[in-house]
Amino acid sequence: LTDSDEILVLEDGCIVERGNHASLVAQDGRYAALMAAAMTSADEEGLPLDDYRGRHARSGAVASVPSHE
């Protein structure tokens, strides 16, 4: 996710946040809360954060869309 061109955060099927990783973390909104929760869970599970992100991105919990400019 951190290398994605654009990340869309959806709630009830509507885009509520849009941007790259750095801009979404700076907004301190839903995406930032999700990343903080992922880091906490990964730490509690004793997993490196990259392993946690990859596993949950593949499960559909988190997804990113490449930019087609």
Q: Which residue has the tokens 């290398």?
A: 3
Nearest to 1 by CA among 59, 42, 61, 62: 62
The answer on pLDDT for 12 being more than 70 is yes
Highest mean pLDDT among 23-27, 35-39, 48-52: 23-27
Q: Return d(Cα 59, Cα 68) in angstroms, integer.
A: 24
Instruction: Give the mean model confidence (pLDDT) for residues 48-57.
Output: 49
pTM above 0.75? no
